[in-house]
Amino acid sequence: SDMSEIFETGEQKQDDTPKSKEEIKEKIDRLKPNAINRLLLVRFMDFTVEPGHSYIYRVRVALQNPYLGRPVDDLEQPEQAMLPVLMSDWSPATPEVYVPQSYRYYVQETMIRPGMPNEAEVSMYYEHPEAGMPVMADMKVPVGCRIGGERDTDVINLSTSSLDTEAVEFNSNDVLISIDEGRRLLAGDVPDLAGMLKGLPRGQKPIPDRITVIDSAGNLVSRTAGDSVYAGTGMKTYDEDKANVALLIKKYEEMGYRKGDATADANVFNFGGDAEGGMSMSMPGYGLSEGNPLSQQKKGGRRQGASSRRRQSQMGGSDMGGYDGF
């Protein structure tokens, strides 16, 4: 409805003309369009995030001021006559959004030997930045060194539609600063623990090997053999990551990515799953970073090693307004 209807004074409107501010407000409320069909969904993407940090976002609307230049006596808030843009209040802040690291790793074994450098053997999952797919390899890291290094491993390269064994530089921002060998105990050593010790799988230590690292946020983090790590959407284990990478390699081999391994049927991705478990589109490894800062041991709350950053930007609109994100 045209807002001029409120102030029409013709004969047909004469009896219906509002006489006071209260009547004007009441008529405006009656003439307001139904907001249900005018609500706009705001979507925005932040291309400036840094892995390993958490972010909080909120929005507000910017509208061109329809009262700009109006006589100040006509307005309940005279200062609005001088503002070219009217801003709404900020929306409530979102929950923290965690941006995972492009890597995570798992302790396999620690080695403390007289006359030799102390080392930890780790298995590292890494999102290959050029290939767009995850790779995985085992490596020995001396105490005092950055976790990572160059290893030969199978690489699925989406840009070249190939699967080859290549030298890959596994990069992380974490430094190994100490290791500890877990103790082996016999049932006779601690009679009170005999039942528990006999129930352990053969070769498993009751006290696992442990490493301490300084992570990308500068935190001291303790990791143990066989533990799980937070990967942005949930906890991950070594066995899960190893199986996922192996399944990806198998599927892309069936698609003919590895030279000499082409098959007649390239449609090997059974999105609904198959008798052997199939493969779903939610599986990690489709070029989407799902790494892990080693400080993440549980989901929820403000996580160690993930700093929270707030950002604000302004985007305006004409009749539909705009949004701000931070």
Residue 293 CA: distances (Å) to CA of 106, 132, 183: 12, 20, 27
Query: For residue 52, with 0-12 CB atoms within 10 Å meaning exposed, 13-18 middle and 19 or more buried, which class applies?
Result: buried
| pLDDT tens profile 170-182 | 999 999 999 988 7
Cα–Cα distance measured from residue 105 to residue 123, given in angstroms and rounded to the nearest whole number:
5
Q: Are residues 248 and 134 in contact, defined by beta-carbon separation less than 8 angstroms?
A: yes
Residue 74 — φ and ψ, nearest 5°?
A: -85, -5
Return the closest-CA partner of residue 212 out of 141, 151, 149, 150.
141
132 pLDDT band, cuts 50/70/90, is confident
269 pLDDT band, cuts 50/70/90, is very low
Cα–Cα distance measured from residue 39 to residue 157, given in angstroms and rounded to the nearest whole number:
43
pLDDT of residue 213 exceeding 60, the answer is yes
| pLDDT tens profile 138-153 | 999 999 999 999 999 9
Q: Are residues 315 and 246 in contact, defined by beta-carbon separation less than 8 angstroms?
A: no
Q: Is the pTM of this model over 0.85?
A: no
| pLDDT tens profile 86-98 | 888 998 999 998 8
Amino acid at 123: S
267 pLDDT band, cuts 50/70/90, is very low
Which has more pLDDT, 259 or 221? 221
Residue 31 — φ and ψ, nearest 5°?
A: -90, -5
pLDDT number for residue 197: 60
Which has more pLDDT, 28 or 223? 223
Q: Are residues 6 and 31 in contact, defined by beta-carbon separation less than 8 angstroms?
A: yes
DSSP β-bridge partners for residue 168: 151
Find the mean pLDDT for residues 64-77.
82
pLDDT of residue 272 exceeding 60, the answer is no
Cα–Cα distance measured from residue 69 to residue 53, given in angstroms and rounded to the nearest whole number:
45
Which has more pLDDT, 123 or 287? 123
Q: Are residues 294 and 213 in contact, defined by beta-carbon separation less than 8 angstroms?
A: yes
